[in-house]
């Protein structure tokens, strides 16, 4: 997909997929393991989930490459498997993507903060993203999704790295508090403005809180950028049950209702994060189509 094709695609509401991680855990994935290798060993589970998202109305599915960067894989002793892991996972998603369905290469934070005197530098972030994005692009993704980002500088490194290895569109979403503040400092509007200037093709928020708490954040981002605004929030706020699992507060219909409000306030690229399932995406699709 070219950047111009992405721009045209987002002239109408573009529907992304919903959660991956929370659904994998519901399907039996243990905590504390390397998600990417578990998914490789459970191809049927990830493909059943992504197939359900497509049937529900998703136009973009995220390849399960979220933690497929060198820093995360190193923690699991899998640094030397980075190309094999990313290529295999993109292949799983591409097998399902028919006409009008696009596969996003999913990337995320290293978990570290770039600071002036820190151990983690812009150059290290740039190199990490450059390596993974080059593999994803070669594997045939249609666009890039940098999601659940917690540091503006690191996200800028991802945008710069993407531009250095390919011409694919890149969507960037920060995880924020209800007031728009970012965990490492700054806020969603500052991030959106900086990312647009750096060359991002769409900006916004994912994960964070429920859609009911993000109206002003989405509106403020929309008022300050000229590119599409993304909203991919959680299914409300979670509570932890007696088994230690997160249970989210919204059902599919409530989620879709609040997502429609976010669209009315400027979001045009929409989906769901933690706690959402294909039924949430279907309710969202049916509400806005």
Q: What is the CATH number of domain 3-288?
A: 3.20.20.330
Name the CA radius of gyration of the chain, rounded: 17
Question: Which pLDDT does position 87 carry in this prediction?
Answer: 98
Cβ-Cβ contacts under 8 Å for 75 (sequence gap 6 or more): none
Structure confidence at residue 65 as a pLDDT band (50, 70, 90): very high
**pLDDT band at residue 245 using 50, 70 and 90 as cut-offs:** confident
Q: What is the mean pLDDT of residues 46-72?
A: 98
Region 110-130 average pLDDT = 91
**Helix, strand, coil shares of the chain as percentages rounded to 5?**
45, 15, 35
Q: Does the annotation place 274 within a ligand binding site?
A: yes
The pLDDT score that the predictor gives to residue 230 is: 98
Taking CA atoms, 58 is separated from 197, 200, 215, 266, in Å, by: 28, 22, 22, 19
Average pLDDT value for residue range 185-213:
97
Sequence-ordered list of residues with C-beta below 8 angstroms from that of 62, at least 6 positions apart, any chain: 16, 17, 20, 93, 103, 104, 106, 145, 147
Residue ranges covered by each domain of the chain: 3-288
178 neighbors 209 (Cβ within 8 angstroms) = yes
| pLDDT at residue 117 is higher than 80 | no
242 confidence band (pLDDT: 50, 70, 90): confident
Tokens, residue 97: 């993507």
Output the pLDDT for position 240. Answer: 83
Q: Is the pLDDT of residue 128 over 90?
A: yes
Q: Does residue 273 have a known ligand-binding role? A: yes
Confidence grade of residue 238 (pLDDT, cut at 50, 70, 90)? confident
166 assigned binding-site residue:
no
pLDDT at 237: 87
Both tokens of 64, joined, read 């399960």
- Judged by average pLDDT, the poorest of 17-21, 82-86, 131-135, 239-243 is 239-243
* Measured distance CA(68)–CA(72) in Å, rounded: 7
**Confidence band for 75, pLDDT divided at 50, 70 and 90:** very high
């Amino acid at each position: 997909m070219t950047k111009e094709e992405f721009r045209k695609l987002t002239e109408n509401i573009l529907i992304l997929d919903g959660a991956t991680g929370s659904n994998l855990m519901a399907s039996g994935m243990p905590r504390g393991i390397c998600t990417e290798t578990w998914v490789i060993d459970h191809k049927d589970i990830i493909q059943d989930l992504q197939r359900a998202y497509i049937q529900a109305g998703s136009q973009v599915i995220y390849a399960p490459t979220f933690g497929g960067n060198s820093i995360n894989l190193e923690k699991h002793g899998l640094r030397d498997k980075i190309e094999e892991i990313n290529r295999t996972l993109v292949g799983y998603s591409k097998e399902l993507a028919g006409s009008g369905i696009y596969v996003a290469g999913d990337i995320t934070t290293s978990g570290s903060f770039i600071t002036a005197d820190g151990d983690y530098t812009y150059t290290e972030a740039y190199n990490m993203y450059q390596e993974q994005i080059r593999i994803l692009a070669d594997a045939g993704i249609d666009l890039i999704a940098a999601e659940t980002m917690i540091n503006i500088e690191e996200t800028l490194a991802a945008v710069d790295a993407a531009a250095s290895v390919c011409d694919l569109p890149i969507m960037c979403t920060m995880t924020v508090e209800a007031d728009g503040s970012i965990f490492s400092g700054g806020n969603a509007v500052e991030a959106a403005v900086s990312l647009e200037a750096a060359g991002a093709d769409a900006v916004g928020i994912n994960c964070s809180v429920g859609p009911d708490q993000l109206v002003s954040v989405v509106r403020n981002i929309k008022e300050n950028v000229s590119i599409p605004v993304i909203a991919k929030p959680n299914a409300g706020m979670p509570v932890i049950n007696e088994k230690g699992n997160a249970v989210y507060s919204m059902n599919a219909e409530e989620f879709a209702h609040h997502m429609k409000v976010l669209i009315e306030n400027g979001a045009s690229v929409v989906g769901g994060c933690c706690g959402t399932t294909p039924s949430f995406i279907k309710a969202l699709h049916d509400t806005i189509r």
